[in-house]
Chains A and B, each alone.
Chain A
């Protein structure tokens, strides 16, 4: 028998399994942002860098997609301008471009993970990976709080700006005190409400929780997981000195 809530969950089911998303984040962090691997992995890295943008489009997050594309465009623009810029500016452009093109991709992947995964899905995925409670609970709380902290910080900054407390307008000590303290106070309050709500729904109860989210690997997950394995194999082969192309 299928419950209405289960059917609703099936409709809301994301394109990818949360475990696949985690693997992609790790791959991008290690190979694209960390810069591991040499020339053999260049084409793989290009594919990896395109992934978060494709995924954002598939999930219909056009706003985030466009923002990422603009940032990436600025990065590549800087790299393209290296040839014509004089002296010091040229080094700065090269550095900023190099850093920007790497970071934007990884940040987009992180944004995709957070914006397309509900906390329940995240917990379900972690449980399927047999993580202990001591990892699942703090990680899922952090997962839930990141966007909240961002929003709080933006509004605190805006409020303090109105009183002239911002970088360049006031002493650094003041900026830190009057921006960080309110941000932390409201985050802690949000966190406490969150914890009350989570506890009342049996998080950290000594029994096994059921989860209404439907997760599991489908064809797209298997393709990406296989791609991940191929990436690691290619990297190991490169380490062993095998030249492919």
Chain B
């Protein structure tokens, strides 16, 4: 990995992060909180698929994922995303590596695996239910009721799977846009 690769990680990481944050603001409305596991992977697919066309060497996907984990820590999502980022980043990296960083189908699958890191943002809701709401007590009882109704325990696996499936969909959309726009512009 050389300097250019690291700079590319920064460029695509920044685009992905900005898109994610813009969408994540919706999550303050309770009904959108579970839906983030659908919207973020679908929109994030566009920058990520473009990023994967730049990835030729091992390690780049993992570093990008870990940086997302650090950014989540800095934006107040707690330490859990760091763990899911490490796992998802490793999985996505291995998947891309098995296709020698060229396989288009594996790229879509790799983005699906990568997207599962988002689940880390939900983890405190399921592992430390009381603590999560104690920290948000000043949002009012109506908020707490709405979120706990939307997020029963069985939502945990559903959200994880939603991240993966929507990641695949997002990856496919990203590929389509790649062909339609970015190749024409000489970027892909």
Contact = CB atoms under 8 A, between A and B. Distances in A.
Interface stretch (A47-55, A173-181, A211-219, A225-233): A173-181
Q: Is the interface of A mostly helix, strand, loop or mixed?
A: helix
B73 A26 contact: yes
A220 interface: no
Q: Is the interface of B mostly helix, strand, loop or mixed?
A: helix
B7 A106 contact: no
A237 interface: no
A149 B63 contact: no
A36 B142 contact: no
Contacts of B76: 28-30, 32-34, 106
Contacts of B11: 141, 145, 187-188, 191-192, 194-195
A91 B147 CA distance: 13
B64 interface: yes
Contacts of B82: none
Interface string A10-28: 0000000000000001101
Contact of A25 (B67, B74, B77, B182): B74
Contacts of A236: none
Interface in A117-168: 133-135, 137-142, 145-146, 149-150, 153
Contact of A185 (B71, B135, B143, B185): B185
Interface in A61-109: 91, 94-95, 98-99, 106
A33 B67 contact: no
A187 B6 contact: no
Nearest to B67: A138
Interface stretch (B42-50, B97-105, B112-120): B42-50
A199 interface: yes
B10 interface: yes
B16 to A, nearest CB: 10
Interface residues of B, number: 47
Contacts of B18: 146, 149-150, 153
Interface in B1-21: 1-4, 6-11, 13-15, 17-19
A198 interface: yes
Nearest to B9: A138
B56 interface: no
Given A141-B14, A142-B14, A181-B181, A34 B28 contact: no
A36 B140 CA distance: 17
Contact of B7 (A28, A36, A137, A184): A137
A226 B163 CA distance: 41
A103 to B, nearest CB: 8
A138 B135 contact: no
B10 A140 contact: yes
Nearest to A101: B138
B14 A194 contact: no
Given A187-B15, A195-B11, 8 more contacts: A26-B74, A29-B76, A139-B10, A149-B14, A150-B18, A195-B3, A198-B3, A199-B3
Give me the 4 closest cross-chain CB pairs, A-B, nearest first. Answer: A204-B3, A141-B10, A35-B135, A33-B76
